[in-house]
Amino acid sequence: MSKITAAITAVGGYVPEDVLTNEMLEEMVETTDEWITTRTGIKERRILKDPTKGTSFLAIEAAKNLIQKADINPEEIDLIVMATATPDMPVAATGVHVASQIGAINAFSYDLQAACSSFLYGLSTGAAYIESGRYKKVLVIGADKMSSIIDYTDRTTCIIFGDGAGAVLLEPNTEGLGLQDEILRSDSIGRESLKISAGGSLMPPSEETVAKKLHYVHQDGKTVFKFAVSNMAGVSEQIMLRNNLTNTDVNWLVAHQANKRIIDATANRMNLNDEGKVLMNIERYGNTTSATLPLLLSDYEKQFKKGDNLIFASFGGGFTWGAAYLKWAYNS
């Protein structure tokens, strides 16, 4: 019997219409377009301004886009892994609502939170369900409404993040395509460097936590940058070595879109001299956290060919990070 691997067979994406440019941020905080661009590579980001809509809205739209393009019946979906750092609510799982709203009435669903690595961890989890043979169609969605947890008077964070969602469908493959290998890591050394202090069991909401703005993202940028460069680049190189891949074997680097300098450092470590192999949309979207990797797939899908070698890489708060090696399963 041929080995079952989990292949991506369809992708979808969604970003809100409203754009927040660097020039607009110049009016909000002490910064400049030149400063933001040279240090992050970001020119603009998308913002979901409607206060009645949360992360589930973004995820639903991305899933609908995938379902429409792939022409699949949502009732055939077995499972939805909802990767997000900004669930609609702390308790009622966002993925469950998404499943109901897209008509995936036969799917069970749950949320997975690993900061910016959420989608990569979710991809691994979804692949394991496929490889077990128990499930045939697993939808992995990465979505975040980062604008809901950003202090737009804090120039260290408000310049970085945007809102968006992406989705992939995983199905069994016996041609040797799909997910080949992964290296996933975590270390709580970064617990204080990238976090939201309040709102959890350690520091429940109170008048004081709201007044002190402890429900917004806080980031020690220098520490996060240092660890991200070292660890994201490290696992990307490691997964190439472990699978005997050279820079000419890698067709595409699908890297987390946190900072262009981190992406460049990862590409350099992998000796990817051809910039055309390094997928980027950070200039238009900023860091959409759980959505960056699937949004890249959605934006560049038409360029992928069956058998292409993709290296995924991510780094997030916690710290969490990892890399994955996947063979693309279809011609677009």
Length of the chain in residues, anyone? 332
First to last CA, the chain: 28
| 287 flagged as catalytic | yes
- Could you tell me if 279 and 292 are in contact, meaning their C-beta atoms sit under 8 angstroms apart? no
Angle formed by the axes of helices 118-131 and 292-300, nearest 10°: 70
Look up residue 297 and give its two tokens: 């797939």
Give 110's strand partners: 81
C-alpha angle 13-224-289 in degrees, rounded to nearest 5 = 10
> Which of 287, 284, 220 is CA-nearest to residue 256?
287
Helices H / strands E in the chain, number of each:
11, 13
| 256 flagged as catalytic | yes
Among the listed residues 22, 65, 97, 116, the single catalytic one is 116
| 65 flagged as catalytic | no
Among the listed residues 65, 251, 287, 309, the single catalytic one is 287
d(CA 269, CA 264) in angstroms, rounded, equals 9
| Residues sharing a CB contact under 8 Å with residue 23, sequence separation 6 or more, in sequence order | 33
Among the listed residues 65, 256, 281, 309, the single catalytic one is 256
Q: Please compute Rg for the chain using Cα positions.
A: 19
- Could you tell me if 45 and 161 are in contact, meaning their C-beta atoms sit under 8 angstroms apart? yes
Q: Burial level of 33, CB count in 10 A (0-12/13-18/19+)?
A: middle
Active site residues: 116, 256, 287
